Amino acid sequence: MTRATTLNPEASSGISIGYSVSSVADWLRRIAVCIRGPRGTRGSGVIWRDGLVVTNAHVAVGKMHEIEFFDDRKVRGKLVARDADTDLAAIAVDAVGLATAAIRSARELRAGEMVIAVGNPWDGEGAVSAGILHRAAGKQPVIFADIRLAPGNSGGPLADAQGNVVGINCAIFRGLGCAVTSDAVQEFLSRSGVPEAA
Amino acid sequence: MPGFLVDFSNELANAVERAGASVISVPEGGREGVSGTIWREGVAITAEHTIHGLDEVTVVLPSGETTTAPVAGRDYGTDIAVLKVSGAAAGTILTDEAQTRVGEIVLSVGRRREEGLAATYGMISAIGGPWRTEAGARIDRWLRLDLNPFPGFSGGPVVNARGEVIGMATSGPRRSAATIPASTVNRVVDQLLQRGHIARGYFGIGVQPVAFPEGAARSLGLETERGILVVMVEPGGPAANAGVLLGDIVVRIDGSAVRGAHSLQPALDSDKIGHSAVVDLVRGGKLVQLNMVVGERPQK
């Protein structure tokens, strides 16, 4: 019983972790977008660089898309590249001076490292979830994370503990979150000839 | 502040790496491979239910080396199989699981032949006292995990945030993750290395639960209206030697009331073998007390 009455020094670490996750989440919301589908479905996207949003191919099904930023601004976006095999798509948006994602190679991640996702599931815009990397990426274009994702997370960022984007969330497989690696995104963009400054 | 989260993240990755040094892959186990834990020098454990019927298995060591490991012993009750793994170094740090607390961060670590080390994280969600598996084996502590069990995690370690082993992970009921605590694993590994199996107590009877009419139970001074009817007595078995007859109704064992066949389990633990159990039974409407020496269940 003494444990309950004395101040637990570790409790302050727990609070700090909460604050840290929320500040990373705040940053990720700025570089994440909401993409509305034709039938009212919602997906997510990442502002990869100024004027360019990366999302999943299964989110970007049409040519034109309504892209909504964290500050509720809405712009039209035009599909510029799409690859169903890697489940990636690039959308050019008519907006400049956007906060853009800091990218980290998913190949550097160690199993157990913390990962944070932000997305737009049906019951929460800009919803954050946290977990750990399930296993190291190796040469695979997909990474697995022990994190609770929902369908609206598709296309949204999976980031490390510093908020660096390491992948694009794309699926849920046996309770694990799957994300296309940042490395596969870079390859996709250069392969599809998306101009450096879109 | 972000530095704090980075430290936390690195600590978790370090814990996985530290634990990973004693996690092996058992590709033949289960449907798509399971994990194992190097427990002592040259000795590893895995989940028994995943390597049913195999006398030796291929294992992939943390170094990536593949070797063949004979199954030195297996216990269906606690789901522990012991593998002799030559060249397996002992680096495993065991914790005293009695020190674990609800809310503590834990990681379940596994290894797969192709993909290597994998982990999920969660916390200890409840701690309870000793419990019995469906097979009747005694587990020293109930450690409920709030953790996502992943394919092939069985047999791998459940570790704390320092990477120290709390127990062996295996699948519990309803797709949950169960933990066989380190102290139970130690006890079972010792016995398996010594004799290849876990000795279980034996009465040599077949039983069926029955209920007494309310008045009968009261007039006999019984705590419950339930008992177990002896429907088979093995000739020459411990019960036969003690004088148990077909049709006897067992109502107490070592002074505690019998509520069903499971009530016999505590008297059948391996440390009871060779000891005398006091059996109260109803025979011809009267209470009779017998002393029965617990035998050892023959190996199949």
Q: Verify whether the Cβ–Cβ distance B13 to A174 is below 8 Å.
A: no
Q: Strand, helix or coil at B211?
A: strand
CA B93 to chain centre: 20
Asked if the Cβ–Cβ distance from A131 to B8 is below 8 Å, we say: no
Q: For an interface test with A, which of B16, B17, B18, B145 has the most A Cβ atoms less than 10 Å from its Cβ?
A: B16
At B140 the three-state DSSP class reads coil
Under 8 Å between Cβ of A135 and B116? yes
CA distances from B156 to B46, B81, B171, B179 (A): 7, 12, 11, 10
* pLDDT mean over A162-170: 97
Asked if B5 and A162 come within 8 Å (Cβ–Cβ), the reply is: yes
CB-CB neighbors (< 8 A) of A21 in chain B: 5
Q: In angstroms, rounded to a whole number, what is the distance separating the alpha carbons of residues A118 and A113?
A: 17
HSE value, Cβ hemisphere, 13 Å, CA-based, for A12: 4
> How would you class A108 by CB atoms within 10 Å of its CB: exposed for 0-12, middle for 13-18, buried for 19 or more?
middle
B9 interfacial to chain A (CB closer than 8 Å): yes
With CA atoms as reference, the chain B residue closest to A114 would be B9
Both tokens of A171, joined, read: 């699926």
Residue A83 designated active-site: no
Q: Which long-range contacts (CB under 8 A, 24 or more apart) does A163-167 make?
A: A163/A24, A163/A27, A163/A28, A163/A102, A163/A116, A163/B2, A164/A101, A164/A102, A164/A103, A164/A104, A165/A31, A165/A46, A165/A101, A165/A102, A165/A103, A165/A104, A166/A104, A166/A105, A166/A106, A166/A109, A166/A115, A167/A106, A167/A143
Best of A128, A129, A133 to substitute, by most chain B Cβ atoms within 10 angstroms, is A133
Burial of A5 (0-12, 13-18, 19+ CB in 10 A): exposed
Q: Domain-by-domain residue ranges, chain A?
A: 1-198
pLDDT confidence band for A11 (50 / 70 / 90): low
Instruction: Write out chain A residues lying below 8 Å of B10, CB-based.
Output: 113
CA atoms of B3 and A184, how far apart (whole Å)? 28
3-state percent breakdown (helix, strand, coil) of chain B, nearest 5: 20, 40, 40
Query: Which of A101-110, A145-154, B94-103, B131-140 comes out lowest in average pLDDT?
Result: B131-140
Q: Name the band, by pLDDT with cuts 50, 70 and 90, for residue A160.
A: very high
**Does A113 contact B115 at a Cβ distance shorter than 8 Å?**
no
A85 is catalytic: no
pLDDT band at A12 (very low <50, low <70, confident <90, very high): low
Q: How far is CA B209 from CA A40, B5, B230, B247, in A?
A: 59, 57, 9, 12
- Give the pLDDT of residue B185: 96
CATH of domain A1-198: 2.40.10.120
Question: Is A24 within 8 Å of A163 (Cβ atoms)?
Answer: yes
Which of these is catalytic: A44, A129, A154, A182? A154
Handedness of CA A36, A41, A47, A52 (dihedral sign): negative
Q: Which of A44, A65, A87, A129 is catalytic?
A: A87
Give first-to-last CA distance, chain B, whole Å: 61
Asked if the Cβ–Cβ distance from B5 to A175 is below 8 Å, we say: no
Give the minimum alpha-carbon distance from B120 to chain A in angstroms, rounded to a whole number.
5
pLDDT of res. B1: 46
* Pick from A23, A113, A176: CB nearest B150: A176
- Does the CB of A129 have a partner CB in chain B at under 8 Å? no
- Indicate the pLDDT class of residue A198, thresholds 50, 70 and 90: very low
Nearest of A175, A16, A180 to residue B5 by alpha carbon: A16
pLDDT score recorded for residue B4: 86
Question: Of A44, A58, A65, A183, which residue is the catalytic one?
Answer: A58
Which of B5, B107, B151 is facing A161, going by the closest CB pair? B5
Question: Which residues from B are below 8 Å from A178, CB to CB?
Answer: none
| Tokens 């972790």 sit on residue | A17
Task: Compute chain A's Rg from CA coordinates.
Answer: 17
d(Cα B277, Cα A21) in Å, to the nearest integer? 59
Model confidence band, residue A48 (pLDDT cutoffs 50, 70, 90): very high
A7: pLDDT confidence band, cut at 50, 70 and 90?
very low
Across the interface, of A13, A17, A134, the residue whose CB is closest to B120 is: A134
Any chain B CB within 8 A of the CB of A163? Answer: yes
A87 is catalytic: yes
Nearest CB neighbour to A23, from listed B2, B15, B148: B2
A20 close to B (CB below 8 A): yes
Average pLDDT on A23-27 reads 94
Helices (H) and strands (E) in chain A, counts: 3, 12
| CA within 13 Å, CB half, B63 | 6
Q: Does the pLDDT at position A1 exceed 60?
A: no
Please list the ranges in chain B whose pLDDT falls under 50.
Answer: 1
Query: Using the beta-carbon criterion (under 8 Å), do B8 and A20 form an inter-chain contact?
Result: yes
Shortest CB distance from B13 goes to which of A111, A138, A146? A111
Domains of chain B: 2-195 (2.40.10.120), 201-296 (2.30.42.10)
Do the interacting molecules here have an ipTM over 0.90? no
Residues of chain A neighbouring B15 (CB-CB closer than 8 A): 112
Answer yes or no: is pLDDT of A68 > 50: yes
Query: CB-based contact (8 Å) between A111 and chain B?
Result: yes
Q: Is residue A2 over pLDDT 60?
A: no
What is the model's pLDDT at position B50?
Answer: 93
Cross-chain Cβ contact A138/B20 below 8 Å: no
The whole-angstrom separation of Cα A43 and Cα A37 is: 7
